A and B are shown apart, each in its own frame.
Chain A
């Protein structure tokens, strides 16, 4: 069967236990093995089920995303409920099970291609392309700030609207009236002419037999009743009384506890361990050698960790133990020099001709910036409870990628993926870290060696030293200005590019641009870190833009504004930030104001920081944040995410520094990887613009602009330009314009 239509994609599904399940199906037929491994049962029709109604008229949105504080469970349920005209007080949500039928790949394919029909020979190719695209867009995971913009806009809303349509059709048949005379409101259907009304649930069983419309009509913004409001978040009550269950809270009968220590130097393996040295300690059950990590299983976690601390472990050197942080930066610099010398850099973006433009200028600005590795430091350290029984491996944990984890654990344990069952719990912070399955694989492999369930908990030290780190980086700039101070050319070179691809691109109207990079691999594991490449490039580009403003003798806000003449969205966001921050108001002595603007994940954010630098101490007092994500589905939730992104980015800018010594991470816990605390936390004001453009993300876009806004504010206060993070390494007492050597 080669025909594939959207009609087959959204289809009514099964009726079970009095519950109507309205499903979203993907085509039957053959699929490449790789796709099948993720989403399909041997070419069977797969249902993606997002909505159910029970006999009491309670609508449950089934949300295929992990909740880690970004409010996605609530917001996606709102989007579905609004299109359905459901009564919000009667709407519940559940997280979709970590089953391949819920792979979000289906959504990307189905809704992007719409009604497209393909000849049979092309279908596998199309599926393959979509799988690749979906991976790139992070659509299988909760990340990339995509939940609302993709799952919400093209999944939840359509599922809600499609459900309403078939319920109306069912009611029309029951009441023998034309469907167009019916309306839905608050989970009821009304026929005003005959003064009849009945709850959705009354029509649900019959509706289950009706084909859903291919293209249900979606509401226009003016028709929204739930979207754009800020109901209380559904997950919050359980998070104030201790009842919310995080991965670390899983309890199973007969469960034991495990502590783990991997080689401090990435890449090393265990040469020898001496279990006898600890086997007699109280509570110790077993010592496990995972090859690259040693594990102690005990009756309690503390017993396991205490015993592990005493376990003698020898690791096999690989040469990585010779790597120092200073050498990593030297390696980056050399890679950039070599690329320049041999002219073999990778072109990232190019417009106009920078060489010609520079030849015509006599006013140049050059700068080099540097940022360190960063750890995620989620409040809940990595942990996973695993139980291997009856040829199955069950996992309880918090993950941003339930399906991916099941696949990776299955592969590591040489099991069929169907036999790896992931029970996703609340995530005590994700920020990208919980997209990496290393700890789940460890837990599975440990549990495979014992007959009881095991809860593996990483110590904070293990968590910090075995993260997947935001890359350290160097970024070099050269720009030319004309006699009026307008930039004529922008050249930027950096190393180690990840994604999103547009992270180093600038919004400014500069005619000649060349952005390029060199590769320079290290042995330090890389990972997505809140806003990914945007977290470093916004600091680089918006700091350098500030340097150009200064060189041009212009106000930092006005300089940007002039260069955004053709970009009304950026300009509106920038203008509002200047207005709300009282940009031109005088400040006390030793205070400064800095501005930055950056677009990430479809959302434009500008921030203005007011900073005080007194006796060498940096204190951000106030942050004004303006944001345009197209349409704010849950305005208070968007504000929460801006506040969160700002504190996360401010912490990193001021304090965070993961450095490598003898191949291993130096920092280990919050005493040497400090966090911003309440007494250092600025007042934050967020202002939303519903610009009406394509809906963007919220979880990450608050982070990128804060580091440059802060650094620019420090320059405004002190005249010292921050070209290297974190700011704690700078000495503001000495008036030293450069950074101290941190390596």
Chain B
């Protein structure tokens, strides 16, 4: 079945079984391999992408659910090439990734959280991030990374406002 996917702002026409999980279409048809396969049953979060801005598990989302919708992957989260999302920068500043395999999914969950809730409490962070498993145990640093990114994003929002006012 022919479908139209908008991934990171680019339109892709794909002809696949509509039941195919979005994960495999992103990785194999589109060729964006930053989104990872971990469990196939929405238990680990490695495959997390945004569908119209919300974090979803692409390993259990049929591609037809994304037809004519906006999908964002780790490769597109910064918004432009050679730039980093504040969450990505916080991940470097806090030296979070170890093996790194789960981190695309962690970052996609964290960016979705901060988009919806710019100043999350500890409990908010726990709730939003507990679908993402990290076997290297970087949870403590991820918490700090989200808190740092929230501050940076609040500052940026404030400064942009100041600029427009001035």
Contacts and interface: CB of A to CB of B under 8 A. Distances in A.
Nearest to A674: B43
A647 B96 CA distance: 14
A282 B20 CA distance: 12
Interface in B1-60: 16-17, 20-21, 24, 28, 31-41, 43-44, 46
B30 to A, nearest CB: 12
A675 B45 CA distance: 12
Contacts of A239: 91, 97, 100, 103
B136 interface: yes
A459 B135 CA distance: 17
Contacts of A671: 41, 43
A381 interface: yes
B10 to A, nearest CB: 15
Given A240-B92, A644-B137, A235 B28 contact: no
Chain B at the A interface: SS class: loop
A683 B33 contact: no
Contact of A380 (B32, B101, B127, B134): B101
Contact of B136 (A240, A257, A644): A644
Interface string A352-385: 0000000000000000000000000111110000
Interface in A54-91: 68-71
A144 interface: no
B37 A670 contact: no
Contacts of A681: 137, 139-140
Contacts of A643: 137-138, 140-141
B70 to A, nearest CB: 18
B135 A378 contact: yes
A240 B39 contact: no
Contacts of A683: 140
Nearest to A464: B39
Nearest to A305: B40
A249 interface: yes
Interface string B51-93: 0000000000000000000000111001000001000100110
B114 interface: no
B117 interface: no
B126 A678 contact: yes
A729 B72 CA distance: 41
A644 B141 CA distance: 11
B132 A678 contact: yes
B91 A678 contact: no
B34 A647 contact: no
A243 B88 CA distance: 13
A378 B129 CA distance: 19
B142 interface: yes
Interface in A225-274: 230, 232-233, 235-246, 248-249, 251, 257
A452 B79 CA distance: 36
Contacts of A237: 92
A69 B136 contact: yes
A152 interface: no
A233 B103 CA distance: 15
Interface string A412-432: 000000000000001111110
- Interface size range of chain B in the complex: 35 or more
A241 B78 contact: yes
Main secondary structure of the interface of A (DSSP, over half): loop
A240 B100 CA distance: 8
Contacts of B75: 241-243
Contacts of B40: 459-460, 669
A679 interface: yes
A242 B142 contact: no
A670 B44 contact: yes
A460 B38 contact: yes
A379 B135 contact: yes
A283 to B, nearest CB: 8
Contacts of A669: 39-41, 43
Contact of A460 (B39, B104, B138): B39
B91 A240 contact: yes
Interface size class of A (residues with CB under 8 A): 35 or more
B133 interface: yes
Contacts of A251: 31, 33
A240 B130 contact: no
B37 A248 contact: yes
B35 A242 contact: yes
Contacts of A236: 91-92, 95-97, 100
A194 B165 CA distance: 59
A636 interface: yes
A671 B133 CA distance: 12
A521 B109 CA distance: 45
Contacts of A429: 99, 101, 135-136
A68 B40 CA distance: 22
A172 B32 CA distance: 52
Contacts of B134: 379, 647
Given A429-B136, A646-B137, A679-B127, A240 B99 contact: no
A200 to B, nearest CB: 29
**Residue among B33, B74, B129, B130 with most chain A CB within 10 A:** B33
A670 B141 CA distance: 23
Contacts of B148: none
A302 B130 CA distance: 26
A275 interface: no
B127 to A, nearest CB: 7
A301 interface: yes
A684 interface: yes
B103 A648 contact: no
Interface in A369-417: 377-381
A237 B91 CA distance: 9
Contacts of A460: 38-41
B139 A246 contact: no
B141 A379 contact: no
Given A236-B92, A379-B133, A429-B135, 18 more contacts: A236-B100, A239-B91, A242-B33, A300-B28, A301-B28, A302-B20, A379-B102, A380-B38, A426-B99, A426-B100, A431-B135, A644-B136, A644-B137, A647-B136, A675-B135, A677-B129, A678-B143, A683-B140
6 smallest CB-CB distances across A and B, nearest first, come from A242-B34, A647-B137, A69-B98, A428-B101, A239-B100, A69-B99
28 contacts: A68-B99, A232-B92, A232-B95, A236-B95, A239-B103, A240-B84, A242-B35, A251-B33, A300-B24, A302-B20, A302-B24, A379-B36, A379-B101, A380-B99, A431-B135, A460-B41, A636-B95, A640-B138, A646-B137, A647-B139, A669-B41, A670-B39, A670-B133, A677-B132, A678-B139, A681-B139, A681-B140, A683-B140
Interface of B: 16-17, 20-21, 24, 28, 31-41, 43-44, 46, 73-75, 78, 84, 88, 91-92, 95-104, 107, 125-127, 129-143
